[in-house]
Amino acid sequence: MMLLEIDNLSLNFRTRSGVVKALEDVSLSVGRGETLGVVGESGSGKSVLSFAVMGISDAAATVSQGAIRFEGLDLLKAGPSDLDELRGAEMAMIFQNPRTALNPIRPVGRQIADVLLRHAGVTRAQAQDKAVEMLARVRIPDPERRAKAYPFEMSGGMCQRVMIALALACSPKLLIADEPTTGLDVTTQAAIMDLVGELARESRMATLLITHDLGLAAERCDRIAVMHAGHVVEVAPTAELFARPRHPYTARLISTTPRPGASLAALEPIPGSLPDLRGELAPCRYSARCHLYQAECDAGPLPRQDDNGRMVACRRPA
């Protein structure tokens, strides 16, 4: 059984200008010890999906169908107390914007200690020591002093590292990392991802890595799911996806990524923009941008899955 299973999830947002169909029929799974990358343009639904898994979607969000199962428990049907026990201990998330995720009026060391006191069954002194240890592990210099600092006293990169330390403090079974290396220099990025990988190997932690950085996904992920406008359009083992992308959007997305030895002129932008997710939408939300579009595409994507678990949602895959 997979650790996390998302089955035909559809989620809408109620707004003054109409219903936004943010996710439609999204199905994904992550096994123990596996790193699944979720890639796509801004606005494709990556962060919305992660918030739904954690049970922290906006009040305007409504799940119209589907299930999210964690170790067999349907999180959409779980009560608030059950989710409170899971979040921070069994499931943790690194948020994209740490300044809005951290408490601005509480020292960062205390924030990490709070999670440990809530879930790890340790004393306050042990929690404080562990908080300092976690700050050191994410390469924050002088961690004893920094543990007493407030978020506004730290740089954006420092706050990002605090957020990572907080998420990893209880060694969760599932880590959702939403752009975890934003604001970090290249050396620190590598160190942080090495730490996540080390924990994944030690405790078979599953990782859902949400990123726009295809290079990072290629290096760190076992499989990759490609999202476009609330749809999962392709899922494949990492090496296969980059060697032989089957969905036209995946191929375009890869073509926008700089390659060693290639000039800037070789980059091929994706034409058009994401569709407005309000009102009536084409069954294939990529059709208006697709160079392979034919009239048959108006019938909607035709999901195809092979024996290796590779999936492409397209009527005319490569």
Domain boundaries, the chain: 4-90+172-313
Closest CA to 159 of 137, 138, 187, 186: 138
Residue 312 pLDDT: 95
Residue 238 pLDDT: 96
Q: Are 267 and 250 in contact (CB under 8 A)?
A: no
Edge-first strand order for the sheet with 18-30 is: 18-30, 4-15, 61-70, 73-74
The fold adopted by the segment(s) 4-90+172-313 is Rossmann fold (3.40.50)
| 194 CB-near residues (< 8 Å, 6+ apart) | none
Closest CA to 175 of 155, 159, 198, 158: 198
CA angle, residues 35, 189, 86, in degrees to nearest 5: 45
Amino acid (1-letter code) at residue 27: S
The separation between the first and the last C-alpha atoms of the chain, rounded to the nearest angstrom, is 31
Closest CA to 209 of 38, 63, 15, 73: 38
List 235's β-bridge partners, or say none.
225, 311
Amino acid (1-letter code) at residue 82: D
Q: Tell me the residue ranges of DSSP E strands in 59-162.
A: 61-70, 73-74, 91-94
Residue 155 pLDDT: 87
Q: H or E segment at 227? A: strand 223-228
Q: Which residues of the chain have pLDDT under 50?
A: none
